[in-house]
Structure 1
Amino acid sequence: MVDAQAKNSATVMRLLSDGLNCRSVPHSYIQPLEKRPTNLPSSLISSPHCNQQNYTSPIVDLEHGRFDRAKTIQQIFKAIEEFGFFQLINHGISKEMMGEAMSVGREFFEMPMEDREKLYCDGFEKPVKVASSVVYDREDVHYWRDSLRHVCYPVEESTHFWPLKPPKYREVVAAYSEKVRALALKLLELIADGLGLKSNYFDGELTQMQTILVNHYPQCPDPSLTLGLPVHKDPTLITLLLQDLFGLQVLKDGEWMGVQPLPGAFVVILGFPMQIICNDKLKAVEHRVLTNSSTARTTITTQVFPTKDCTLEPIEELIDDQNPPKYRTLTFQEYFNAHMAARLDPEETIKPFKLH
């Protein structure tokens, strides 16, 4: 049985990473009818760019040297409250650095299989892992994605775990991850200020962990039948996504809204732990990933989150008679275990911790 499972895992991995030489989506990847993406823009089938009409992207502009702290905080809170995410521009990380990071991420998935499969494993126990076609749902349906995930903080204690190939991977990603971490902490300072907290409130255990997740979504024969990632809320404090092709959708007012990439921008999403801490004042957004039939799509996600023993509970300053605590005290490990046990389902994940 173990040999059969291992063989199946390796076969599935090769299926996506080495290209799919067929004209239809294999049965094991076809989503149940109620989970399939509907009303896909025709451009998604023929082009990696999605030109949706009535598209409005919330944008936060750090304005380089003309930074206005109060204005920026207002932009962040308005975007999160109305849309659940925003695209961050003029953030100080060069397009050259972002481009180099994206390039080595793509190169990793273009390498020969023998170079990648050495890192293949199940579970989250290893500091670096390659995964493919992961099953999240109880329907046992595979998702159309390959991924490389590894720890990246502190950098000097992490790089020896990282892939040796492509040759520039460690150098490029080390510099990139340090810059993005500084940016994430700056955003969290602004959020703390907006909540009426000390600027360093989110320092320490709440942001001690950081990972890089390189997602690779191969070209798909029929995007209407499958998904790259299921509907979920992030298990992070804050997530910064680098994307250059369309694929991300967020749920807004009961409808799926496409997040069209902006050159040089990060998509910023708050995770469920932040929602707990903020007592629902700032909410994590449900989102999913589509595939497309014209080209492969690669993204780089930087995830900042608490240590496993870190306590999560609504902030005392945000609680009063009109706003009683909505969640009980828990550890991040408790939350993450529930997240995985619920197969990423947002409602099922949070049920054990809700007070009202």
Structure 2
Amino acid sequence: MSNFVSSWAKNIVTLPENYVMPPDKRPNEHVSTGNNIPVIDLAKASSSTINHAELVQGILKASQEFGLFQIINHGVSEKLMDDVIDLFKELFDMSVEMKDKLFSEDSNKRCKVFGNRYINGEIRYWRDLLIQPVFPIQEDTQHWLENPARYRELVETYSTEVRKLCAMIVELIGEGLGVELGEELIKDQALGANYYPTCPDPSSAMGSPPHCDPNIITFLQQQVYGLQIFKDGQWIGVHPLPYAFVVIIGYQMQIISNNKLVACEHRAITNSESGRITLGTFVSPAGDCVVEPAKALVNGDSPALYHAFIYEEFMNNFIAGKEPQKKLALNA
């Protein structure tokens, strides 16, 4: 059997045993409709001083209460967003032979294309995944895929446009917190493309598990529903808005804000009606960057809640499943 779910999932009517989640990990809880997910209209960013202040406060409030919001009128062209989704549809639709040549779990490889991943030894997630560093761009393009056609061109253009948007949102968050979030905090950028094929039994499978992102901030492009967040003891659905980005606060932003903002716990479910492609842009500090609560947010009434740490060490522990954000908490 191919390493990629997308290579054989369309031909089955029963979920393979090694994709059936344990009962306590299945997405079978009651899920809220998510009608109150914050939506931020970036058209207000420069229209007036009053609107700008409202925009900053709206982003800050959403980041405090949900750790997530959707943005519209963000300036990234709809055609570019469509073209990149189509590009990855083409990639995941390639022949078994072509995809298996791309398959890799080599941690040293710059552009990695994974098949289905294991959990708890033998149980697997119902997805295929590509991970690729995209910034600094000049350091990586020689390692990018050459197929499908226009891959390098489209991914570079898309990543550059989304990076501008990421930088703007991080700046607005810093403005709301009253701190300067420097360039070293958004030094690195990666693109993750997830493909969740049509699933014969969505109630027993899982696309991706509950987790918080370890980086500063994530921008997610989705066209088909599947994203859920955990808030106030329940799962809430984040339904796609046309050509919106979902902005997800990561652990580093929670730590730098000294818990004034919250990292958003989220997961991806599957469905039996259609496949789902999402594109995640992950912005992170440089590996040698020292991360700690912003000094402007630490005082006698609000002491630091986390130790200072090197981001690369944090990531090594995170990948190893050691929950470093808890170990760094001073009150743990």
* TM-score normalised by L of structure 2: 0.93
Which moves more between the two structures, 124-133 or 175-184?
124-133
Matched, 1:101 2:84: yes
Which moves more between the two structures, 19-28 or 325-334?
19-28
Paired AA for residue 354 in structure 1: A
Residue by residue over 1:70-113, the C-alpha shift from the partner in whole angstroms, topping out at 9 and shown as x without a partner, is 12111101111222200000111111111111110111101112
Contact 2:215 2:284 in 1 (8 A): yes
What residue is the counterpart of 1:5 in the other structure?
Answer: none
Contact 1:250 1:259 in 2 (8 A): yes
Gaps of at least 5 residues in structure 2 are none
Residue by residue over 1:104-144, the C-alpha shift from the partner in whole angstroms, topping out at 9 and shown as x without a partner, is 01111011122222221115321101112112x43542111
Contact 2:5 2:128 in 1 (8 A): no
What residue is the counterpart of 2:163 in the other structure?
Answer: 181
Superposition deviation, residue 262 in structure 1: 0.2
What residue is the counterpart of 1:117 in the other structure?
Answer: 100
Aligned match of 1:165 in 122, 147, 157?
A: 147
- Cα distance in 2 between the residues matched to 1:244 and 1:214: 13
Which moves more between the two structures, 124-133 or 236-245?
124-133
Identity of aligned residues (%): 40
- For the residue of structure 2 that corresponds to 1:152, the secondary structure is strand
Superposition deviation, residue 171 in structure 1: 1.2
- For the residue of structure 1 that corresponds to 2:125, the secondary structure is coil
Matched, 1:59 2:39: yes
- Cα distance in 2 between the residues matched to 1:138 and 1:320: 43
- Cα distance in 2 between the residues matched to 1:271 and 1:207: 12
Matched, 1:155 2:145: no
- For the residue of structure 1 that corresponds to 2:140, the secondary structure is helix
Aligned match of 1:193 in 168, 175, 180?
A: 175
- Cα distance in 1 between the residues matched to 2:294 and 2:2: 44
- Cα distance in 2 between the residues matched to 1:291 and 1:237: 26
- Cα distance in 2 between the residues matched to 1:179 and 1:30: 39
4+ long deviations beyond 6 Å: none
What residue is the counterpart of 1:24 in the other structure?
Answer: 14
Matched, 1:249 2:228: yes
- Cα distance in 2 between the residues matched to 1:187 and 1:322: 28
What residue is the counterpart of 1:279 in the other structure?
Answer: 258
Pick closer, same or farther for the CA change 1:20–1:185 going to 2, 3 Å: same
Paired AA for residue 181 in structure 1: R
- Cα distance in 1 between the residues matched to 2:126 and 2:275: 11
Gaps of at least 5 residues in structure 1 are 1-10, 42-51
What is the count of residue pairs matched by the alignment?
328
What residue is the counterpart of 1:69 in the other structure?
Answer: 52
What residue is the counterpart of 2:199 in the other structure?
Answer: 220
Pick closer, same or farther for the CA change 1:14–1:77 going to 2, 3 Å: closer
What residue is the counterpart of 2:70 in the other structure?
Answer: 87
Pick closer, same or farther for the CA change 1:12–1:322 going to 2, 3 Å: farther
Contact 2:33 2:237 in 1 (8 A): no
What residue is the counterpart of 1:303 in the other structure?
Answer: 282
Pick closer, same or farther for the CA change 1:96–1:15 going to 2, 3 Å: closer
- Cα distance in 1 between the residues matched to 2:158 and 2:21: 35
